[in-house]
Amino acid sequence: MASTPKKSAKPTARKGALAAGAARASGERAKRRSTPLIASTGAEARVGAATTASATPTTSPRTTTSTTTTTATTKAQASVATGGKHRPRPVAKAVPTRKAVSRSGARTPAVAKPPRTPRAGTGARKASTRHTAEPKVRALKAVTDETVVPVAVAEPPTSRSVAPGIEELLTAGIAAVRVAAEAAGISSDDVERHLASLLSFVRRRVTGDYTVDEFGFDEDFTRHFYLPVLRPLYRSWFRVEVRGIENIPSEGGGLVVANHSGTIAMDSLMTQVAVHDEHPAHRHLRMLGADLVFQTPVVGQLARRSGSTLAANPDAERLLSGGELCGVWPEGFKGVGKPFSERYKLQRFGRGGFVSAALKTGVPIIPCSIIGAEEIYPIIGNMKTVARLFGAPYAPITPTWPLLGPLGLIPLPSKWIIEFGAPVETADLGPGAADDPMLVFDLTDQVRETIQQTLYSLLMQRRSVFF
C-alpha cells in the first residue's frame, strides 16, 4: 500500500516539470514578441529603435502611415531574428557622422568626420585646386574691388648720376688724344673737329638718322667711317698723287675705266678716295665689282655700303642714267693676279660691255691710269691647287707671303700716281650705237690703248718705286 503512491508520484513530477518548462518557453516567446530586438551592430540597433518608436501609440492624425510603418518594422524584426536575407534598405544619411559605442554599451554623441588630407603629388595639387580655387577668386575680387596695394617701384637712374662719369671719361679720352696729336704734329683744332664728327656719326647710327639707297649705298657710313679708314693708306702709306681730276664732270653721269693690278684690289679703293677727296664736288665713285666680291661675307657687305654693285649692264645703266659716277676695271682677276714679270701690261678688256652701257646712257668715258699698285704684292708664283681647293681665281706667292705669315699681308709702301685722261664723249653717237658691235669694239680698243700709253708715260716720269 505504501509503494503505490510512490509509483504514481514520478509521472506526476515529470508532468509538472514538463508543464513548468512549457510555461517557461511560452513566457520567453511572449517576452521575445513584446520586447524589441537589440542587435550588436549599428544597423540592427537603429531598426530596434524605429520599432519601439513606431509601436508607441501617438495622437497624430496620420494613423495610416503609423500602421504601415509598424507592419514594415515588424517584418524587418522577424527577418533579422530569423537571419533572413531580406533586410530593409537603410535610409540615406543626412550628415556623414560616425557614432561611437562605449564599452558599457551606451552611445556617445555623434562626431563629424574630419576631412581627408590629400596625398602629396598630382592628386594633392588637384584637390587643393578644387577646394581652394573659388575662395581665391573671391578674395582676389575683393582685394581688386575694395583695396589697392601700393607697390614701390625703383626709379631709373637719372642723367645727373650718370653724366659725371661720362664727362670724366670723355675728358680723359680727349686729353689723351690731344697729347698723341701734339706728338704727331697735328693741331688741337683738327683733333676736336674729328672727335665732334665721330660723336655725331655715332649718334646718327644709334638713332637711325641715315638713308640707304636701292643698291645698298650708305652715304653716311661711307663719308664718316669707310673713307676715313682708307685715308691713312692713301695719304701716308702710298702717298697718292692725282692728276687730271678736272676731267671728271662735276655733275651728271660718267664712267671711269682703269687698269687693274696689285694681287689685292687696293687700286679701286684708292681711286674711290681720290675722286672724293680731290674733286671739288666730292663725288662718290660707284664701283662695279665681280660676283666673287659680294659672295665674300664681310667684304661683300662693306662693298655694298660703300656704293659698289655688281658689274652687270642693267645695274650700270641704272646708275649712269641716274647721274651717278661709276668706275669699272675691265681686266678683272686676270689683271689683279698676273705675275710681276707682266706688270703694267694690260690684259684683254672683255667684250666691251662697259662701252655699250655708256653708249646707251650717253655718258662720257674717262680713261684712268694707275701706277704703283703692281709693287705692293709682287706675285712670283701661283699655288693653283690651293686656289682650286678654295674656289679662288689664284693663290699668290709673294716675297713676304706666306713666308712671314700675317706680316706678309702688309702691303709694300710704293709711290702711287693716278691720272685721269681726257673723256671720250658718247652722247653724239646716240643710244642705237650700242647695237653696233664694230663701233663698240673700236671704242673699247681706243680706251685700252689710251690707258696703256699713259702707263708707259708715267713709268718714264717716276723716279723711284718707293720714293
Same domain, 329 and 194: no
Domain boundary among 209, 232, 260: 209
Same domain, 244 and 347: yes
Query: What pLDDT sits at residue 412?
Result: 94
Same domain, 201 and 269: no
pTM of the model: 0.62
Same domain, 230 and 370: yes
**Residue 368 belongs to what H/E stretch?**
strand 365-371
Same domain, 237 and 356: yes
Which ranges of 99-187 does DSSP label H, i.e. alpha helix?
Answer: 122-146, 159-184
Query: What pLDDT sits at residue 141?
Result: 44
Contacts of 219 (CB under 8 A, 6+ apart): 210, 211, 284, 307
Same domain, 183 and 240: no
Same domain, 267 and 304: yes
- In this structure, the number of other CB atoms found within 10 A of the CB of residue 45 comes to 17
Q: What is the CATH number of the domain that holds 277?
A: 3.40.1130.10
Question: If you search the block for the grid coordinates 575694395, which residue do you land on?
Answer: 146
Q: Is residue 4 part of a domain?
A: no
Same domain, 430 and 350: yes
Give the separation between CA 358 and CA 255, rounded to whole angstroms: 7
Q: Is residue 118 part of a domain?
A: no
Residue ranges of the chain whose pLDDT lies below 70: 1-167, 169-170, 173-174, 177, 184-186, 188
Same domain, 309 and 355: yes
Give the separation between CA 269 and CA 266, rounded to whole angstroms: 5
Total domain count, the chain: 2
376 close to 414: Cβ distance less than 8 angstroms? yes
Q: Is residue 89 part of a domain?
A: no
Closest CA to 353 of 393, 310, 392: 310
Closest CA to 371 of 297, 308, 464: 464
Q: Is residue 124 part of a domain?
A: no
Same domain, 273 and 182: no
Give the separation between CA 263 and CA 340, rounded to whole angstroms: 10
Same domain, 443 and 314: yes
List C-alpha distances in Å: 256 to 180, 368, 421.
Answer: 39, 7, 10
Same domain, 339 and 368: yes
Domain boundary among 209, 243, 267: 209
Residue-wise DSSP of 254-305 = EEEEE---SSS-HHHHHHHHHHHHHSTT---EEEEE-HHHHHSHHHHHHHHH
Q: Is residue 53 part of a domain?
A: no
Domain boundary among 155, 175, 209: 209
Q: Is residue 136 part of a domain?
A: no
Overall size of the chain counted in residues: 467
Question: If you search the block for the grid coordinates 664732270, which residue do you land on?
Answer: 249
Give the separation between CA 253 and CA 58, rounded to whole angstroms: 125
Question: 249: cis peptide before it, omega within 30°?
Answer: no
Q: Is residue 252 part of a domain?
A: yes
Q: Is residue 10 part of a domain?
A: no
Q: What is the pLDDT of residues 385-410, one digit of tens each?
A: 999 998 888 899 999 999 999 999 99
**Residue 309 belongs to what H/E stretch?**
strand 309-310
| Domain that residue 454 falls in | 213-376+411-461
